[in-house]
Amino acid sequence: MRDAMPKWADLVLIPLVSLVLAFGLSALVILAIGEDPVAAVRMMVSGALGSTYAWGYTLYYATNFIFTGLAVAVAFQARLFNIGGEGQAMLGGLGVALICLSLPWPHWALALPAAALGAALFGAAWAAVPAWLQATRGSHIVITTIMFNFIAAAVLNYLLVNVMRPIGSMDPATAKFPSGTHLPSLHDLLAPFGIAFSRAAPANITFLIAIAACVLVWLIVWRTRLGYEIRAYGQSEPAAIYAGIRPVRIVMAAMLISGALAGLMAVNNVMGEAERLVLNAVEGAGFIGIAVALMGRSHPFGVFLAALLFGFLYQGGAELALWTDIPRELIVVIQALVILFTGALDNMVRMPLERLFLALRRGRA
Amino acid sequence: MTLFHKALGATAALALCAGAALAEPALIYDLGGKFDKSFNEAAFNGAERWKAETGGSYREIELQSEAQRQQALRRFAEAGLNPIVMAGFAFGSVLEEVAADYPDTTFQIIDTRVDAPNVRAIEYSEHEGSYLVGMMAAMASKSGTVGFVGGMDIPLIRKFACGYAQGVKAVNPDATVIQNMTGTTPAAWADPVKGGELARAQIAQGADVIYAAAGSTGVGVLQTAADQGILSIGVDSNQNHLHPGQVLTSMIKRVDLAVYEAFTAGADLETGYFVLGLAEDGVGYALDEHNKDLVSAEMIAAVEEAKARIVSGDLAVHDYMTDNACPVK
C-alpha cells in the first residue's frame, strides 16, 4: 500500500488536489450568497501576499501555527494525539508574562532566551501531567489533554482577574511589558539590509525561531536515538517494548517536547505582538495546529508549508471581513472547508489517486 | 427661484454628499459578534438607526482574532473613515498606541478610558442601574431570595453583581443574593443552555427573581425563568418584550445612543472622557407595556427616590472596580 504512489504524489499532489476541491466548493458558497468569488479570491491573495504589510500578518499567524503544528506532529510520531496545544500555549504565555514582568530587562536579546525558556518550561509542565497519566495509568491522552485546556483557561482567568490585572483596569490582562522586552519586528530586522518591510505588521524575530524549531524537530525525530525510539514506539508498541524501549520514557519525552513547542508559541503572540498577556491570547491556534500537522503529514517541512497556508487563510479572511460584506461565519466556513478536505477527507482524494497510479504502473509493466 | 439658484443648490448638495462620502463612519464589534442580543447588537442598532434616519452608509467589521484589533483600526483610519467607533474595553491598550498615529481621525471607545486628544472615551455607571433593578427585585421577591447570573467572570460583570446586591440589601437587609458566573472563557457570553441550567439551580434554592448580565447566555436565563413561572431581569438592551409579563424590567445601557450620537456628530465628535450614569440617562431601568403590570406604583416611587438621591450624590453606590471588592455578599 505504501508504494502505491511515488513520494512526490503523496507529499504534493494530494494536498494540492484537496486544496483545489476546497476552494472550488468555497467559490460555490460565495456565489450562493451573491458575492463574486473571483473578486473575493483576488482580495484574499492581495490582502495576504500582496504587500509587505500583508506578508507581515500572514507570517505572524503562520509562526503561531508552525509551533502548534510541530507540537501535534512530534506527539503524533509516537501515535499520541495531543489535543492540548491550546492549554499548553496558554501556560506558555503565563511563563512569558512572569519572566517579562518580574525583572527589569535591559535588552531584548537577554529577555528573549529567558522568555523562550519560560514558555517552553510552562508548556512542557502542562503537558507532563496528562503524559504521566497516559504512561503509567493508561488514561487516554485525548481526554486528559482536552480537559487540561479547560483547566488552563480557568487558571489563567483566575490569575488575570485576581492577581495579575492592574487595579482599576477593566481588561483581564497583565500590564504592558517593559520596553526592554520588546522584540524586533521584521521591519527592524530587514531595515539594515535596505529592505523596507511594513512597520505596522506584527511578524517578528520569532518567525526565525519557528524555522529553527522546524529544523530542530527534524533533527530530533529523524537523526537521534530518542527520535528513532519515538517513531518505533509509534509504529508498534509491542515491537518497541520487545526491542527494549521503555514506553513510559517515550510517552513522557514525546509529550514534553510537544508541550514545550506549543508553549513556545507564546513568544510570538504574547511577547512579540500583544506585549502583554490577554485572556484569549491563543484563540484556537492550538486546535489549528492539529489541522496543520495532519496536512503536513507530521513532517516539519510539511508543517511549515501548511502553517503558511493557514496564515494565508487567516490574513486573507481578515481582509475579506474588512472590505466585503461576506459575513464572518462564512469566512470560517471557507477555512473549515480547507481543513475538512485536507485533514478529514484525505482518503477521498488518496484512494482514487492511488488506483490511478497503480493502473498506470500496470500499464507500463 | 432662478436657474442660478437651482444650480447653486445642486452644487451645495453635491458638496455635502462628497463630504459625507469622505467621512464615512466605521464601527468595530468585539469578538462576541454583531448579533449577541446584547452589547454588540446595541451598538449595531445605534448604527442602523443612524443609517435609517440619514440614509448614510458605514463600514463595519466583526473581529475574529486579537491581532485584528490593531489591524482593523489602522486599516480603517488609513482608508479615511471617520469617526471610528469600537465597542468593547478590550480595544483600550491597542487604541492607546494607534490613536497618536492618526491625529486627524476621531475614535470613540466604549467601556474603558483612553486619554488622547482625538479619542472620545465612554464609560457607564452600570452599578447604579444595577442598584435600581436590585431594589425592584427585592420588592418583587416573595421568598426573600433573588439570583444573579453573570457571563464571563470579569471585573465588569462583578461590578453589575455588586451594584445589584447593594440594591437588594437596601430594600431587604435579610435577603439572600445567589450569584453565579457562567464561565471563565469568552464562550460564557454565548451559552444559553448553561444559563438556563444556572437559573434552574437558583430556582431550586428559592430564588424567584433572577437578573442576567451575560450576553446571549442571558436569553437562556430569561427563557427558563419564564418557563418556571418566576420573574427575570434583562440587561443592556430592553429585553422586556422577550417574555411579556414575565420580565420584571431590564437594566438598560444606552450603547446604541452612544454609537448613534457619534455617527451623527461625524468627524466633529467632541473628544474627552465621559461617564454616563443615571444622571445622564446612560443607564436606567426599562418600563414599557410589557412589564407595567409587574411594577407597582410603590416600586416606582422607591426606585425614583433612590435614583434622585444617587443623582444628587446623597447615595453612593459602591463601584466594584475601584477596589476590586464588594461591601455586600
Q: List where CATH 3.40.50.2300 sits in chain B.
A: 3-124+256-276, 127-253+296-323
Considering the domain architecture, whether residues A2 and A147 belong to the same structural domain is answered as no
> From the candidates B59, B78, B93, which should be mutated to test the interface with A, based on the most A CB atoms within 10 A?
B93
In a domain, A56, yes or no: no
Considering the domain architecture, whether residues A165 and A233 belong to the same structural domain is answered as yes
- Cell numbers at B299, concatenated: 416600586
Give the chain A residue whose CA is nearest to the CA of B156: A170
How far is it, in rounded angstroms, from Cα A174 to Cα A166? 7
In a domain, A352, yes or no: yes
Torsion angles phi and psi, residue A31, rounded to 5: -60, -40
Contact B92 A161 (CB under 8 A): no
In a domain, A361, yes or no: yes
3-class DSSP state of B249: strand
Contact A328 B62 (CB under 8 A): yes
- Considering only the beta carbons, identify the residue of B61, B111, B153 that sits closest to A170: B111
Q: Between B127 and A343, whose confidence is greater?
A: B127
Give the chain A residue whose CA is nearest to the CA of B74: A200
Distance from CA of B34 to the nearest CA of A (A): 10
Considering the domain architecture, whether residues A155 and A207 belong to the same structural domain is answered as yes
A264-276 average pLDDT score: 93
In a domain, A310, yes or no: yes
Distance from CA of A59 to the nearest CA of B (A): 12
- Considering only the beta carbons, identify the residue of A61, A173, A321 that sits closest to B62: A321
- Considering only the beta carbons, identify the residue of B89, B153, B323 that sits closest to A171: B89
In a domain, A52, yes or no: no
* Residues B61-74: tens digit of each pLDDT: 988 778 788 889 99
| pLDDT at res. A210 | 97
**To the nearest whole percent, how much of chain A has pLDDT over 90?**
58
Burial letters for B242-262: b for 16+ Cβ neighbours within 10 Å, e otherwise? bbeebbbbbbbbbbbbbbbbb
Range name among A78-92, A123-137, B187-201 with the lowest pLDDT average:
B187-201
In a domain, A177, yes or no: yes
Contact B90 A161 (CB under 8 A): no
Band of residue A123 on the pLDDT scale cut at 50, 70, 90 = very high
Mean residue pLDDT of chain A comes to: 90
Considering the domain architecture, whether residues A17 and A88 belong to the same structural domain is answered as no
In a domain, A183, yes or no: yes
Considering the domain architecture, whether residues A214 and A72 belong to the same structural domain is answered as yes
**To the nearest whole percent, how much of chain B has pLDDT over 70?**
93
Contact B68 A318 (CB under 8 A): yes
Considering the domain architecture, whether residues A315 and A363 belong to the same structural domain is answered as no
In a domain, A44, yes or no: no
B211-225 average pLDDT score: 93
Could you tell me which residues come within 8 angstroms of residue A171 by beta carbon, excluding any fewer than 6 positions away?
A: A165, A278, B89, B90, B92, B93, B112
CATH-assigned architecture of domain B127-253+296-323: 3-Layer(aba) Sandwich (3.40)
Element (H, E) at B25: none
Containing domain of residue A296, as a range? 62-324
A116-131 average pLDDT score: 97
CATH of domain B3-124+256-276: 3.40.50.2300
| pLDDT at res. B34 | 83
Residues of B with a Cβ under 8 Å from any A Cβ are: 31, 33, 61-62, 64-68, 70-72, 74-76, 89-90, 92-93, 111-112, 153-156, 184-186, 321-324
Distance from CA of A193 to the nearest CA of B (A): 26
For strands B283-285 and B247-253, give the pairing.
Answer: antiparallel
> From the candidates B184, B189, B275, B319, which should be mutated to test the interface with A, based on the most A CB atoms within 10 A?
B184
Considering the domain architecture, whether residues A353 and A255 belong to the same structural domain is answered as no
Considering the domain architecture, whether residues A10 and A106 belong to the same structural domain is answered as no
Mean residue pLDDT of chain B comes to: 88
CATH of the domain at A281: 1.10.3470
**A37-46 own/partner pairs: CB under 8 Å, 24+ apart:** A40/A320, A40/A324, A40/A326, A43/A316, A43/A319, A43/A320, A43/A323, A43/A324, A44/A312, A44/A316, A44/A317, A44/A319, A44/A320, A45/A316, A46/A319
**To the nearest whole percent, how much of chain A has pLDDT over 70?**
98
ipTM exceeds 0.85, yes or no: no
Amino acid at A26: S
Could you tell me which residues come within 8 angstroms of residue A64 by beta carbon, excluding any fewer than 6 positions away?
A: A265, A268, A269, A285, A288, A307
Considering the domain architecture, whether residues A305 and A331 belong to the same structural domain is answered as no
| pLDDT at res. A23 | 86
Considering the domain architecture, whether residues A116 and A245 belong to the same structural domain is answered as yes
How far is it, in rounded angstroms, from Cα B58 to Cα B82? 10
> From the candidates A170, A268, A324, which should be mutated to test the interface with B, based on the most B CB atoms within 10 A?
A170
Contact A322 B66 (CB under 8 A): no
Considering the domain architecture, whether residues A225 and A269 belong to the same structural domain is answered as yes
Range name among A257-261, A285-289, B5-9 with the lowest pLDDT average:
B5-9
